């Protein structure tokens, strides 16, 4: 089963991102928008995982989560990978406890490498994917709208990580939580 490790977002964050997406849709750019209910912070994409391996993945997540205490993140900016001039992925960037998020992701990467998953080659950049650009048509108008949009200062506290199953369907991906690992209270 397709599996990844994520941080789920509070509904109010998803609602604000949905409002941003609605505004950006007016640019009529060719974008496949992420459904607001599917927006999350990916810590590690695992790909296909055998069902019998999910327990080992969960154990690695629990061990990694124990090394971190709850920390805040806040919504900060709109951007694109690889760049605004050549956008392929549209994102909302996160600030606040970014170093804590990086440490947690690094610990998770290390624990998962210990059970056979390849470490991430790229540095972790905390962001929320909100859309994938299908063609450059309308990208300039999209970024013009994004710059003018007053993204509210929103903050939330990370208290757990989630092992998530991803099922691909013609109407879009469906995510199902398989297990949760709480961060340490210490």
User: Which residue numbers are catalytic?
Assistant: 40, 127
CA dihedral 63, 64, 67, 69 (to 10 degrees): -110
CA distance 100 to 19: 28
- What is the token pair recorded at 102? 């990086």
CA distance 112 to 34: 27
Q: Please, are residues 183 and 70 in contact by the beta-carbon 8 Å criterion?
A: yes
Give 174's strand partners. Answer: 167
Q: Angle at the Cα of 183 (from 182 to 185), degrees rounded to 5?
A: 110
- What is the token pair recorded at 185? 């209270």
Give residue for tokens 């994938």: 132
CA dihedral 119, 155, 79, 34 (to 10 degrees): 80
CA distance 102 to 132: 24
């Amino acid at each position: 089963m397709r599996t990844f490790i994520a941080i789920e977002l509070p509904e109010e964050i998803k609602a604000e991102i949905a409002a941003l997406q609605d505004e950006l849709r007016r640019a009529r750019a060719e974008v496949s928008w992420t459904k607001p209910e599917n927006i999350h912070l990916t810590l590690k994409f695992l790909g296909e995982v055998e069902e019998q391996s999910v327990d080992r993945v969960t154990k690695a997540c629990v061990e990694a989560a124990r090394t971190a205490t709850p920390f805040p993140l806040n919504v900060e900016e709109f951007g694109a990978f690889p760049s605004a001039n050549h956008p392929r992925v549209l994102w909302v960037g996160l600030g606040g406890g970014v170093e804590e998020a990086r440490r947690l992701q690094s610990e998770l990467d290390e624990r998962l490498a210990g059970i056979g998953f390849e470490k991430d080659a790229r540095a972790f950049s905390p962001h929320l994917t909100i859309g994938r650009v299908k063609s450059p048509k309308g990208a300039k108008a999209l970024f013009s709208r994004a710059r003018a949009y007053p993204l509210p200062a929103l903050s939330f506290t990370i208290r757990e990580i989630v092992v998530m199953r991803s099922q691909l369907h013609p109407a879009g991906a469906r995510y199902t939580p398989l297990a949760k690992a709480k961060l340490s209270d210490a």
